């Protein structure tokens, strides 16, 4: 509806980088002196989505602060395409020397079930970073100011209310499918090439709604260019206490987190992985980063790698079920 705006588990996570990651554990690879001198040249963080989207919005302040800590430039390289799998494949083929990392996101857990064949296998070397809840945004001209009103609006207009996403098979797409199933609505999916373009389409009135991470939506919410109806989390976001949870709006047990982490190519020396983990942990204590992430509604960070890996594995199962239930198959 337009408005005139005048899974299957493969070790830790089977959606990304590394068959043969066990090579990284070889004793011959452990050289602490190398970790101490690293990095001696710029480090590249591959963001597998377009500029302006949720992953990109998170990655840029992260890279800037990391660059200050390391004393070396940290470069953001946007490699969008196929729900993040293009960028992931690029990192999988990169040299395992500690100078290339993937800024992975929740979307990679979907790829396991959605794609018939992946050219990579994201396995180990997971570095947890942060995450934030998804939020349902609508164009301000949509005649609904609460989640129950929006559900009623959708039911009164079956097949006429559309929602944008960052692409077919992405979690923003699947969040809409879950919403339809839980509420008995029939919103129509409109895929875009990234969450940035999808949000722009919402603001321009091309679509009625989007499901977006709080981080990339924060500025638009505060400026009033979009209207936030609900966050899909257990509790309200401390940064947006005026936005009710989906459960408060009558849709219980619907939690969806947009999370981020770093992955390294298979064979990256363990001491370099440990060094990056340590540098990432320091970011959680930086006041400026805390402020930025708080303003973006970040809720997850600093988890132990094993705990975070268990969380990610649960995400693989959750999104895999949604993919299968909706018969989504991507080439």
pLDDT digits (tens, 9 = 90+) for 91-110: 888 999 999 999 876 666 66
Domain map (residue ranges) of the chain: 21-131+257-325, 133-231
| Same-fold call for 21-131+257-325 versus 133-231 | yes
Residue 262's pLDDT band (cuts 50, 70, 90): confident
Res 32: pLDDT = 60
Rounded to two decimals, the pTM is 0.65
The pLDDT tens digits for 139-156 are 999 999 999 999 999 999
User: Residue 9: which pLDDT band, with cuts at 50, 70 and 90?
Assistant: very low
Superfamily for 133-231? Answer: Periplasmic binding protein-like II (3.40.190.10)
Instruction: Give whole-number Cα distances, 65 to 60, 205, 250, 276, 284, in Å.
Output: 9, 36, 40, 13, 11
Per-residue pLDDT reduced to its tens digit, 26-58: 334 445 667 789 999 999 999 988 888 778 888
Q: 261, 313 in Cβ contact below 8 A?
A: no
C-alpha neighbours within 13 Å on the C-beta side of residue 110: 28
Judged against a pLDDT cut of 70, whether residue 115 lies above it is answered with no
User: Residue 30's pLDDT is what?
Assistant: 44
Across all residues in the chain, what is the average pLDDT? 79
| CATH topology classification for 21-131+257-325 | D-Maltodextrin-Binding Protein; domain 2 (3.40.190)
The residue ranking higher by pLDDT, 6 or 163, is 163
Q: Is the dihedral of CA 276, 281, 283, 286 positive or negative?
A: negative
CA separation for the pair 98, 271 (Å, rounded): 10
Evaluate if residue 252 carries a pLDDT over 70: yes
Tokens of 44: 């590249």
Confidence of residue 8 (pLDDT cuts 50, 70, 90): very low
Q: CA distances (Å), 287 to each of 59, 156, 282, 297, in order?
A: 17, 47, 11, 15
Average pLDDT rounded to a whole number, residues 286-309: 64
Q: C-alpha angle 135/206/167, rounded to 5°?
A: 60
The token pair that represents 109 in the structure block: 């857990």
Q: Where are the alpha helices (DSSP H) in 38-160?
A: 54-70, 85-92, 107-114, 147-156
Q: Calculate mean pLDDT across residues 323-331.
A: 70
């Amino acid at each position: 509806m337009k408005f005139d705006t005048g899974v299957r588990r493969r070790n830790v996570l089977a959606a990304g980088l590394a068959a043969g990651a066990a090579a990284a554990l070889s004793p011959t690879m452990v050289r602490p002196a190398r970790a101490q001198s690293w990095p001696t040249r710029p480090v590249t963080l591959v963001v597998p989505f377009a500029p302006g989207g949720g992953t990109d919005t998170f990655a840029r302040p992260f890279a800037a602060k990391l660059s200050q800590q390391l004393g070396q430039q940290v470069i953001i390289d946007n490699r969008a395409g196929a729900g993040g799998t293009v960028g992931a494949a690029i990192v999988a083929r990169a040299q395992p020397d500690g100078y290339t990392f993937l800024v992975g996101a929740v979307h990679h857990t979907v790829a396991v079930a959605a794609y018939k064949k992946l050219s990579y296998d994201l396995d180990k070397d997971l570095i947890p970073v942060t995450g934030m809840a998804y939020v349902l945004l609508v164009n301000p001209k949509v005649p609904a100011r609460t989640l129950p009103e929006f559900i009623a609006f959708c039911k009164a207009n079956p097949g006429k209310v559309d929602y944008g996403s960052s692409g077919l098979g992405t979690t923003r797409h699947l969040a809409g499918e879950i919403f339809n199933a839980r509420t008995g609505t029939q919103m129509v999916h409109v895929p875009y090439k990234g969450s940035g373009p999808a949000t722009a389409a919402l603001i321009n009135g091309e679509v009625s709604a989007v499901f977006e991470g709080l981080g990339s939506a924060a500025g638009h919410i505060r400026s009033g260019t979009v209207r936030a109806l609900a966050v899909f989390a257990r509790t309200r976001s401390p940064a947006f206490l005026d936005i009710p949870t989906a459960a408060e709006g009558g849709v219980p047990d619907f939690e969806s987190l947009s999370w981020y982490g770093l992955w390294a190519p298979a064979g990256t020396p363990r001491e370099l992985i440990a060094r990056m983990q340590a540098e990432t942990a320091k970011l959680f204590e930086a006041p400026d980063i805390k402020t930025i992430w708080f303003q973006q509604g970040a809720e997850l960070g600093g988890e132990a790698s094993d705990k975070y890996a268990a969380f990610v594995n649960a995400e693989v199962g959750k999104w895999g079920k949604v993919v299968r239930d909706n018969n989504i198959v991507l080439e």
